[in-house]
A and B are shown apart, each in its own frame.
Chain A
Amino acid sequence: MSQKFRNLTGGNISRESPLDFRFNGTLYQGYQGDTLASALLANGVRLVGRSFKYHRPRGVFSAGPEEPSALVQLGSGPLAEPNTRATQVELSANLEAFSQNCWPGVNLDLLSINNVFSAVLPAGFYYKTFMAPRRLWPWYEKMIRKAAGMGTAPDQADPDHYLCSYAHCDVLVVGAGPSGLMSALAAARTGASVMLVDENPAAGGWLQRERLSMDGMPGANWAESIWQELTDLPNVTVRARATAFGYYDHNMVAILERVPGGNDKDLPSQRLWRVRAKRVVLATGAIERPLIFANNDRPGVMLAGAARAYANQYAVRAGSRAVVATNNNSGYLTAVDLADSGIAVAAVMDSRSSVDHTLLGMMEERGIPVDIGHTVHDTRGGKTLGAVRSGATDVIGGSQWMDCDLLAVSGGWSPAVHLHAQTGARPVYSTEIEAFIPGPSKQAEQTIGAARGNYDLEGCLNEGLRAGRQAARLAGFDTPDEDSLSLPETNGETLPYGQEAFWQAPRPGKRSKQFVDIQDDVTTLDIELAHREGYVSVEHLKRYTTLGMGTDQGKTSNINGMALLARLRQEPIPHVGTTTFRPPYTPITLGALAGGETGASVKPRRYTPMHAQHQALDAVFAPLGLWMRPQGYPRRGETMHQCVQREARAVRSAVGLTDVSTLGKISLRGPDAGEFLNRIYVNQFSSLPTGRARYGLMLREDGMILDDGTVTRLSEDAYFMTCTSGNASGVLQHLEYHLEVAWPELEVDLCEVTEQWAAVALAGPLSRGVLQRLCPEGTVDAVRLPAMGAVDTTVAGIPARIIRISFSGELAFEIYVPSSRGGELWDALLVTRDNTEVTPYGMDALEVLRIEKGFIGMGTEADGRTTAEDLGLGRMLSKKKWFVGQLALQRPGLNHANRLKLVGLTPVSPGDELPEGAQVLAQAVATGPGCSIGHVSSAAHSVVLGTAIALALVKGGSLRSGDTVYLADPARGANETIAARVTYPCFYDPEGARQHD
């Protein structure tokens, strides 16, 4: 509880707001404004986790999103969140965090034995070992996964909820460091709508971590004042804790905003923004690179900028005695800040051959020795750093051991070009700063400041000002006079970058581990091995060694890895190139991507106007596309099979009622509507009399069946079309396409009226009697309403359209009423005045009735690969007119005798079921691949035959009538087949007498 590494003053933390938290079960205290990492360091906790592969001790390495080491598991139970960067976790009251990838604990991790055997576990070892015996591979895989892991994902549903939002702006600025703030302010002053986002809780970027003065105040305060000014402007939206993680086409940037906790159950924990901006300014800063030397991964080895951040931003001493190793001037500023914060700085080791005398003066002033031309060769220690060995950069093995518990390293800075590169742009290598900088933009984007390799504060401010104005101008806004916005006055220690590349210290021992990718335990030896084995492309190197494939995506390792590969290839770094930058920039919670579209809401569901009536009847629902339709209405104690059989029998013997509101419905009007239908359907429609309906079949351009349905002629130039439920939008699109593209001259207008009409089918021998009692007298008698007749009338006083059409094979009527009255119609039909029992039936019973009649189903028999001839509907193809798909039907392949054609199947043994989806074989035993002669497309248990029946698509079709075939159902085992007899594909009333009665 003591926070013994916390200074009494300084930092941008609130000492008035102490916060208790637990790490690995131990209670600690930090302050509001801390991150978990800073609070742990303040409490002297150095060992945070274990490494991915070798289970080596690891501590806090950075102070931002680039963190490769200090990954922790937050929370527990369903709220557990693995692989969270301690450097980005805002400390909150009662926060609980745990080390991950260690057993039984972080202090004693038995799996650290991997480190002992590391010589036999180089990159790609699992490609070369565990090859035999093959059957043990699943076990090996399990063990490897267990030993090499990250956190543990919770196995319960995430109780948090998330909000997704779209936003638009003229100028989006990513990053609220000095250049981003100036850019946003400059753009905002033009009147452009501006959105400014930053991943941190407070604005300022590196200004938070430095001790600069701007306009007479600390840099962090200046940043806060600009942020506030922007917040107050009506045309500006600012978002803190918002990480821009993906840059997509058409200038869409995806941003994840973390919402600070609250008690409101409706408060989303995160908010995903999809922002489309006319112009984007990327001010994403730069990421410091580590130096590569032996054992450079011990807890206590830290990026120099991070050590400085902990000192300045959090008033935390990351150690007691520090050594600074650098190849650029920023390391000296770290040494100054560490010394001023109370850390004894034992030495600065500078790999460069010469150093500006100003820097030496600064060190002399604080009594810090400087070793020019020297670097760190090795470290020692257990779970924390104990000492470093230094030496000349060009001599193998260092000469001097220095005790220290903090080693601050700086190998230079890499611009954060990730978002820029995600636009499709190719970063280019700058030999001036030895890093990749943005190349020509591929979208309406400009990268500025440190993200462009500009490490000078005044330069960044200037660049931000210009970029903001330019972005606003390009978005269509007049820019004000140059003098209306001035740059802040700055003072403090600013130094030129002065970097001199130094990629690798001499390796003290043959097997010494010099880590390049600290997160994935990739060493210089791994890179050399990969190169020796021919993985000389950077993309191959990445995949073979896993360099840069961790959750940090190699933010601190990629450039160093490329530089080493370049040296091995004896080529300049630009020739090696970069790997591909892909979203997300930092890991994103899957829940945020899903937003509210989870569970039952993963897709929007559609309900028919009679849904409440179905619920009242205890219907079991099943999805049909997006629609929720009753599958059946089981009675108490009834299985679904019994229910379906009862419902189907009721239709065959009495009367049943089913909801067919989901049918697609399209109104066609215009003098050319008949001609249009002639071209769309394979059969003739212009000759259809008014008040009559006709079954129609429409084909795709390639001759395959697209859909079937009915068309009713309402008047001379008005038709009413129905199509299958799942195909409604596809059919409408097909019609619209042909009207707009193929025949724009046809005077036809379409209007989809699927939602306008509720519809039911009343089917069964008693259906006419039930309906007649609800209609004006004589409306539905056989003469006035013959089969395929249609009439506009009233049913139970509701304006209705009745079409006498059957998809069950029984006398049946489709009744259409305005949707708002669908429930009323259902109730009226279900409760008859003479106590005739009208049985509601669902989709499954409908399916039984369809299969008994051999009617084709869309998606089952008409599966996108079948023609009308294949399904026995060739007689419908008109020879008197042209129709869509006609030409394609002449292709020889579509007329081949061996095509799959529709047949019926019955079991040879009456008790056998015929499994849907089974392969059809000519012989009882499968003889190998290619022995299938077809498949079962639909199957049911017939209520009229009392046995299983099926429709199948079989080579030769009706030529096999009477043959015995065998059904192989993989679910039953490959060797067991079911004998079935090929029949005519109609099992009930083949003459159609019942439906035409």
Chain B
Amino acid sequence: MIDHSSSPGEALFSAPKLKIDPAPVDHWLQASDRTRPQRLRESLAKALGVEPGEHVNTVTAVAGGPDVLVIGPGRWLLRYPPGQTLDGQELLRSVTDISDSMLGFRVSGDSARELLGTGCPLELGEWDDTQPGCAQSLFHHIPLLIHRLQDSSLDLLVPRSYLAEFQHALLHSARALAALQSNAENG
């Protein structure tokens, strides 16, 4: 299994069109209000200084603060860099710390989407690469949160207990894709 706390900057896999690194271990909060989402959105706006997105699968980047991922109606994920957290958290009755729940990998390069497509049935073709975004899906039956970053690399995050299996599946696919690419180039 991967030790996410060690070897920062060391790639897990590297090929000409694909790189896999451990995703940063960030501080994650889930904020949700089923019955009155607008109330929570306003509270978040007040606390963050920026109105978070409303449409599912969009991401709002807060300068010097978190990325706010809309994962469902009335459900947001706040992704803070380590050491930061939400000011006035006690004001929000429905914020849950889930920082220890998810781990994953940062995938970058031209083949990043193809790699994702080896286990994830989601249609990614219509994603706007210039905008960050997010989506929830599966990768080989493993629940998956995709966080597309500004630079179009993908953070693929899974429940912590699945990490070893996810790594195994991801590397199996990455090696196969690299071999296919090399095979094609060599005719």
Residues B94 and A670 in contact, CB atoms below 8 Å apart: yes
Residues A163 and B123 in contact, CB atoms below 8 Å apart: no
- Within 8 Å of chain B (Cβ to Cβ): is A224? no
Contacting residues, chain B, for A481 (C-beta < 8 A): none
Cross-chain contact of B100 among A597, A611, A670, A820 (Cβ < 8 A): A820
Contact with B along A236-279 (1 / 0, CB 8 A): 00000000000000000000000110101011100100101000
- Within 8 Å of chain B (Cβ to Cβ): is A702? no
Contact with A along B92-136 (1 / 0, CB 8 A): 011011111110000000000010011111111100000000000
- Within 8 Å of chain B (Cβ to Cβ): is A606? yes
Contact with A along B74-106 (1 / 0, CB 8 A): 000000000000000000011011111110000
Contacting residues, chain B, for A271 (C-beta < 8 A): 180
Cα–Cα, bound, A163→B115 (Å): 11
Contacting residues, chain B, for A645 (C-beta < 8 A): none
Cross-chain contact of A753 among B98, B173, B175 (Cβ < 8 A): B98
Residues A596 and B140 in contact, CB atoms below 8 Å apart: yes
Indicate the size class of the contact surface on chain A.
Answer: 35 or more
Cα–Cα, bound, A611→B160 (Å): 12
Residues B34 and A749 in contact, CB atoms below 8 Å apart: yes
Given contact pairs A259-B183, A264-B179, A818-B99, A748 touches B125 in the complex (Cβ within 8 A): no
Cα–Cα, bound, A987→B16 (Å): 65
Residues A751 and B32 in contact, CB atoms below 8 Å apart: yes
Residues A669 and B99 in contact, CB atoms below 8 Å apart: no
- Within 8 Å of chain B (Cβ to Cβ): is A608? yes
Contacting residues, chain B, for A319 (C-beta < 8 A): none
B16, chain A: closest CB distance, angstroms: 14
- Within 8 Å of chain B (Cβ to Cβ): is A819? yes
- Smallest CB gap from A265: residue in B: B179
- Smallest CB gap from B74: residue in A: A749
Contact with B along A172-201 (1 / 0, CB 8 A): 000000000000000000000100000000
- Smallest CB gap from B139: residue in A: A604
Query: How many residues of chain B get a CB closer than 8 Å to chain A's CBs?
Result: 51
Given contact pairs A266-B178, A276-B123, A820-B100, A167 touches B117 in the complex (Cβ within 8 A): yes
- Within 8 Å of chain A (Cβ to Cβ): is B33? yes
Interface core residue of B30, B34, B125, B172 (most chain A CB under 10 Å)? B34
Residues B160 and A755 in contact, CB atoms below 8 Å apart: yes
- Within 8 Å of chain A (Cβ to Cβ): is B1? yes
- Within 8 Å of chain B (Cβ to Cβ): is A164? yes
Residues B183 and A267 in contact, CB atoms below 8 Å apart: yes
Cα–Cα, bound, A271→B181 (Å): 13
Cross-chain contact of B164 among A193, A607, A717 (Cβ < 8 A): A607
Residues B94 and A596 in contact, CB atoms below 8 Å apart: no
Cα–Cα, bound, A477→B124 (Å): 19
Residues B141 and A603 in contact, CB atoms below 8 Å apart: yes
Cα–Cα, bound, A276→B123 (Å): 9
- Within 8 Å of chain A (Cβ to Cβ): is B168? yes
Given contact pairs A717-B93, A756-B97, A756-B98, A605 touches B164 in the complex (Cβ within 8 A): yes
- Within 8 Å of chain B (Cβ to Cβ): is A482? no
- Within 8 Å of chain B (Cβ to Cβ): is A161? yes
Cα–Cα, bound, A262→B1 (Å): 30
Contacting residues, chain A, for B159 (C-beta < 8 A): 606, 754-755
The B-contacting residues of A in range 581-612, CB under 8 angstroms, are: 596-597, 601, 603-609, 611-612
Cross-chain contact of B117 among A165, A605, A669 (Cβ < 8 A): A165
Residues B100 and A268 in contact, CB atoms below 8 Å apart: no
Residues A749 and B182 in contact, CB atoms below 8 Å apart: no
Given contact pairs A597-B140, A607-B161, A267 touches B180 in the complex (Cβ within 8 A): yes
Cα–Cα, bound, A259→B182 (Å): 12
Given contact pairs A596-B172, A818-B99, A608 touches B161 in the complex (Cβ within 8 A): yes
- Within 8 Å of chain B (Cβ to Cβ): is A621? no
Cα–Cα, bound, A30→B121 (Å): 42
Given contact pairs A611-B1, A756-B101, A165 touches B114 in the complex (Cβ within 8 A): yes
Cα–Cα, bound, A274→B120 (Å): 11
Residues B142 and A604 in contact, CB atoms below 8 Å apart: yes
Cross-chain contact of B34 among A264, A609, A748, A820 (Cβ < 8 A): A748
Given contact pairs A601-B169, A748-B34, A609 touches B183 in the complex (Cβ within 8 A): no
Residues A755 and B34 in contact, CB atoms below 8 Å apart: no
Contacting residues, chain B, for A229 (C-beta < 8 A): none
Cα–Cα, bound, A77→B154 (Å): 42
The A-contacting residues of B in range 4-22, CB under 8 angstroms, are: none
- Within 8 Å of chain A (Cβ to Cβ): is B42? no
Contacting residues, chain A, for B117 (C-beta < 8 A): 165-167
Contacting residues, chain A, for B124 (C-beta < 8 A): 168
Residues A751 and B96 in contact, CB atoms below 8 Å apart: yes
A235, chain B: closest CB distance, angstroms: 10
- Within 8 Å of chain B (Cβ to Cβ): is A745? yes
Given contact pairs A604-B165, A751-B32, A818-B100, A262 touches B120 in the complex (Cβ within 8 A): no
Residues A163 and B176 in contact, CB atoms below 8 Å apart: yes
- Within 8 Å of chain B (Cβ to Cβ): is A667? yes
Residues A606 and B161 in contact, CB atoms below 8 Å apart: yes
The B-contacting residues of A in range 670-705, CB under 8 angstroms, are: 670
Cα–Cα, bound, A267→B181 (Å): 9
Residues A266 and B125 in contact, CB atoms below 8 Å apart: no
A613, chain B: closest CB distance, angstroms: 12
Cα–Cα, bound, A820→B2 (Å): 12
Cross-chain contact of B180 among A268, A753, A754, A819 (Cβ < 8 A): A268
Residues A267 and B100 in contact, CB atoms below 8 Å apart: no
- Within 8 Å of chain B (Cβ to Cβ): is A744? yes
Contacting residues, chain A, for B100 (C-beta < 8 A): 755-757, 818-820
B156, chain A: closest CB distance, angstroms: 14
Residues A667 and B180 in contact, CB atoms below 8 Å apart: no
The B-contacting residues of A in range 119-175, CB under 8 angstroms, are: 161, 163-169
- Within 8 Å of chain B (Cβ to Cβ): is A827? no
Cα–Cα, bound, A588→B162 (Å): 30
Cα–Cα, bound, A262→B121 (Å): 28
Cα–Cα, bound, A744→B125 (Å): 35
Residues B160 and A163 in contact, CB atoms below 8 Å apart: no
Residues B120 and A166 in contact, CB atoms below 8 Å apart: yes
Contact with B along A598-642 (1 / 0, CB 8 A): 000101111111011000000000000001000000000000000
- Within 8 Å of chain B (Cβ to Cβ): is A739? yes
- Smallest CB gap from A273: residue in B: B117
B87, chain A: closest CB distance, angstroms: 19
Contacting residues, chain A, for B25 (C-beta < 8 A): 820
Residues A753 and B96 in contact, CB atoms below 8 Å apart: yes
Residues A744 and B180 in contact, CB atoms below 8 Å apart: no
- Within 8 Å of chain B (Cβ to Cβ): is A456? no
- Within 8 Å of chain B (Cβ to Cβ): is A997? no
Residues A749 and B32 in contact, CB atoms below 8 Å apart: yes
- Smallest CB gap from B34: residue in A: A749
Residues A168 and B125 in contact, CB atoms below 8 Å apart: yes
Residues A161 and B176 in contact, CB atoms below 8 Å apart: yes
Residues A749 and B33 in contact, CB atoms below 8 Å apart: yes
Residues B176 and A262 in contact, CB atoms below 8 Å apart: no
Given contact pairs A667-B96, A819-B100, A193 touches B125 in the complex (Cβ within 8 A): yes
Contacting residues, chain A, for B180 (C-beta < 8 A): 163, 259, 267-268, 271
Cross-chain contact of A596 among B1, B162, B173 (Cβ < 8 A): B173
Given contact pairs A167-B117, A604-B140, A262 touches B183 in the complex (Cβ within 8 A): yes
> Which chain B residues have a beta carbon within 8 Å of chain A's beta carbons?
1, 25, 30, 32-36, 93-94, 96-102, 114, 117-125, 140-142, 159-166, 168-169, 172-173, 175-180, 182-183, 186
Report, nearest first, the 5 A-B pairs whose CB atoms are least far apart.
A606-B161, A755-B101, A266-B175, A267-B179, A266-B179
7 cross-chain CB contacts under 8 A: A164-B119, A168-B124, A268-B180, A606-B165, A744-B34, A755-B100, A755-B161
Other than A161-B176, A604-B169, A669-B94, give 18 A-B pairs with Cβ distance below 8 A. A163-B176, A163-B177, A168-B123, A259-B183, A260-B183, A262-B182, A266-B176, A268-B180, A276-B123, A604-B166, A606-B165, A607-B161, A607-B163, A612-B1, A717-B93, A755-B159, A757-B100, A818-B99
> Which chain A residues have a beta carbon within 8 Å of chain B's beta carbons?
161, 163-169, 193, 259-260, 262, 264, 266-268, 271, 274, 276, 596-597, 601, 603-609, 611-612, 627, 667, 669-670, 717, 739-740, 744-749, 751, 753-757, 818-820
